[in-house]
Structure 1
Amino acid sequence: MKEKVLLIFQISAVFIGTVVGAGLASGQEISQFFTQYGYKSFFGILLCCVIYIIMSIIIINISIKYKLNSYDGLILLVSPGFLGTITNFLTTFFLIGGSSIILAGSGALIHQYFGVSRWIGILLMVFISIIILFRDTKGLIEINSVIVPSLILVISTLFILHLVFYKGVNLSFIKDISYSKNNWLLSSLIYSGFNILCCSGVLVPLSLSIGKKKSLISGSVIGSLGLTALALIINFLLILNIPYIFKYEIPLLYIANRFGKVLQTMLLFVIWLEMFSTEVSDVYSVGKNFQEIFNISYNKSVIIIILITIPISQIGFINLISFLYPAFGMVSFIFIIQCIAFYIKDHGK
């Protein structure tokens, strides 16, 4: 019983850690995709939760039934033809691009706060990532089992402190806060689609490796609920601090500043850990994909991907990612529809 509970916790931690990343932990993603829509953003976050739960169950069932090893197999199974090829390419492109940006971000963070060369931050991230990645699925589970509780602790502390020191906050107050955008539904669908497609890179090989359907589904459902709770808390904090949070690259850091250096430092450390978690998840996903496509060992795949990401991290790749982000979100949403259609048709056989 204890082993089953532990496994469910580990799966939920991997799910949360894969989706969160530095963007959500810093508040930037929530700010862009939800907070700008005011109180309606809470509906968008709840909608994402429903999509996460439904899609993770579908992906796990398909992956176990067809013994899939990577997102490549899943995409080509549910979306054969040109669209599937494009989706597969974009997924690989974004995962490698995201990994490169994280390396650059690690270098910038270390340089900014310790005044040392950016290469120290990049190589530190690479070195630790390789150690964890060489442990395969075990490494992915171990690292998220530590990082995710740390994230929850820091965000919860920030939330509680805000409630204690800033009284008089109620639902009518939040509803009256002005917002700049209205199309919250489309934003939520794009955001959930992007996250599900990226998350499939971890869910598919995890399903094959663990093979216990009930534990996988329970873990992904709990992970979806935990992720939603985090997003709701972060969105709540950001909405209370409109319009000031839009001026900062790390909106949560602005909120944490008023509670002292200790909490600020803890938040920065958690953001770096989430960068690390995303780096491991991205390389793990593409590594499993390369292993299947090129018929090489997983460890060789990891080294190849790392060698690709290091030079790309020196280029202004973030602009390209920003340009293609909406396109990838739309392709991801189409993929979700295809997944559901395939599952219903396959389930009816």
Structure 2
Amino acid sequence: MKNAVKILQIAFTYIGTVVGAGFATGQEILQFFTRYGKLGILTILLATVLFIWLGTKMMLLANKIQAVSYEDLNRKLFGEKFGQALSLFTLIVLLGVNSVMLAGAGSVFNEHLGLNYQIGLWITLISTYLLLGRGISGIMKLNSIVVPMMIILSLAIIINTAGSPGASRFLTMDTDTGLFSAWASPLMYTAFNLSMAQAVLVPIGSHTRDRRAIIWGGVLGGAGVGFMLMAGHFALSANMPGISQFEIPMGSIAQQLGSVIQLIYILLIFMEIFSTFVSDIYGVTLQLRQRINVSPRLLSVMILCLCYITSQFGFSTLLSILYPMFGIFSLLWAALLATYNSKQITNHK
């Protein structure tokens, strides 16, 4: 029973780390999968296989070398100098993405709950600081609450969409985009999300004693991400092309289920952003503690202040500038992880 709970906690944390602002709103699903029409089903299946394989591999490697942070893993995988350079770039990436996440949280409060943008930012920052004191167990417990609710809501959206006139459109929808773009898209999507998720998947791998729990947690987590991708794609396809004009397309679909469900969905979007934000800040803190001799709480405050300053630029602006740059780096990182022979790693305690 204990093992089953551990497996589910790993799976839910994996899903919660990947399902951030762009995913929960529907924008990522729209841009990476739905815009490619009926090919979206096959590309989502490819992404699911990659999430299961590479996510599990990352956690197992972290467990084998007892990595303190993702920098330890990168150094072991790619050598001291290159691994250190990759980790430094990952740090910049995570800080940028965290700023985007924080800005997204502020936007949710402002646009959908009628609260001031700055109030939304401060609620997120203070809540993050309080949860960080609980460590990796606090992050896993948070995701164990949020992710099942998101899965239930995804099921409700699937049931609602199944009765709509456009329910079969995900099987027939054509696209003007080329095959290369369609098949490159899941590779880019998976690589980017896994390179970000290493901040929390590496500590999970090193803190989990039972390697079978890691394997099953990785399999369920990767499959869960695939399920939520497919659910979102199914609902978005049924509402194409009109749905693409909305900034939060999944919120618009949730509105069809009634105002109460829509409010729940908006709150869940915030919770998904929040869970990813907390996970990333935790991973960055672990890495910086290896470089800077400062107390964890002070370090967390410094990182949160930096994210607050950069979040003032706004959600859309940051997203358009940062994400394409990170995508190229992520592909390189994922390719190196995929081709690395895990037998080369010796036990290191």
Could you list the structure 1 runs, at least 4 aligned residues long, displaced by more than 4 angstroms after superposition.
Answer: none
Within 5 Å, give how 1:202-221 maps onto structure 2. 202-221=200-219
| Equivalence for 1:177 | 173
TM-score, normalised to structure 1, is 0.92
Letter of the structure 1 residue corresponding to residue 245 of structure 2: K
Equivalent of 1:300 in 294, 298, 301: 298
Partners in 2 of 1:335 and 1:187 — Cα distance?
A: 16
Which letter maps to 2:237? Answer: I
1:287 aligns with 2:285: yes
Cross-structure match for 2:155: 156
**Counterparts of 1:7 and 1:36 in 2: how far apart (Å)?**
37
Q: Distance in 1 between matches of 2:319 and 2:251?
A: 24
* Structure 2 unaligned blocks of 5 or more: none
TM-superposed deviation, 1:326: 2.8
Which amino acid is the alignment partner of residue 3 of structure 2?
K
CA distance in structure 2 between the aligned counterparts of 1:261 and 1:307, rounded to whole angstroms: 35
- Conserved? CA contact 1:53–1:221, under 8 Å: yes
In the other structure, the counterpart of 1:110 is 109
In 2, the alpha carbon distance for the partners of 1:294 and 1:184 equals 43
* C-alpha spacing 1:108/1:336, structure 2 compared with 1 (3 Å): closer
Paired residues of 1:62 and 1:343 also in contact (CA < 8 A)? no
Opposite residue 133 of structure 1, the aligned amino acid is L
The answer to whether structure 1 residue 332 and structure 2 residue 327 are counterparts is: no
Structure 1 residues 157-189: Cα deviation after superposition (integer angstroms, max 9, x where no partner): 11112213x25844xx43432324232111111
Instruction: Map 1:225-240 onto structure 2 (within 5 A).
Output: 225-240=223-238
Q: After superposition, where does 1:1-349 map in structure 2 within 5 Å?
A: 2-80=1-79, 83-164=82-163, 166=164, 169-170=167-168, 173-182=169-178, 183-316=181-314, 319-344=317-342, 346=344
CA change 1:271–1:55 in 2 (3 A) is same
Cα distance between partner residues in 2 of 1:115 and 1:324: 28
Moved more, 197-206 or 78-87: 78-87
Using the TM superposition, give the Cα deviation of residue 206 of structure 1 relative to its aligned residue in structure 2, in angstroms. 1.2
Structure 1 pair 343–322 and aligned structure 2 pair: CA distance change class (3 A): farther
Aligned-pair distance for 1:318? 5.0
Aligned residue type for 1:149:
P
Residue deviations 1:85-144 (CA, integer Å, cap 9, x gap): 443233212211222222222223223344433221111111111111110011101100
Whether the 8 Å CA contact 1:71–1:285 is kept in 2: the answer is yes
Structure 1 stretch displaced more, 246-255 or 315-324? 315-324
CA drift at 1:57: 2.5
Is the contact between residue 21 and residue 104 of structure 2 (CA under 8 Å) also seen in structure 1?
no
1:30-83 deviations in Å (ceiling 9; x for gaps): 001111111111111111111112112321222122211111122222223665
Go from structure 1 to structure 2 and tell me whether the alpha carbon gap of 1:323 and 1:315 turns closer, same or farther (over 3 Å shift).
closer
Alpha-carbon deviation of 1:273?
Answer: 0.8
Q: Distance in 2 between matches of 1:184 and 1:278?
A: 27
Q: CA deviation at 1:154?
A: 1.3
CA distance in 1, matches of 2:302, 2:64: 30
Deviation, 1:268, is 0.6
Q: Structure 1 vs Structure 2: percent identity of aligned residues?
A: 31
CA distance in 1, matches of 2:186, 2:144: 27
Matched length: 345
Provide the C-alpha distance between the structure 2 equivalents of 1:68 and 1:318, rounded to a whole number of angstroms: 35
Q: What runs of 5+ residues in structure 1 fail to find an aligned partner?
A: none
Letter in 2 for 1:62: L
Shift of 1:203: 1.1
| Greater mean deviation of Cα atoms: 218-227 or 50-59 | 50-59
Provide the secondary structure at the position in 1 that maps to 2:229: helix
Q: CA RMSD in A?
A: 2.1
The whole-number CA distance in structure 1 between the counterparts of 2:57 and 2:166 is: 43
Q: Tell me if the contact between 2:62 and 2:202 (Cα under 8 Å) persists in the aligned partners.
A: yes
Q: Give distance in 1, aligned partners of 2:113 and 2:193.
A: 32
Matched position secondary structure for 1:45 = helix
Q: Matches of 1:146 and 1:345 in 2, distance apart?
A: 36
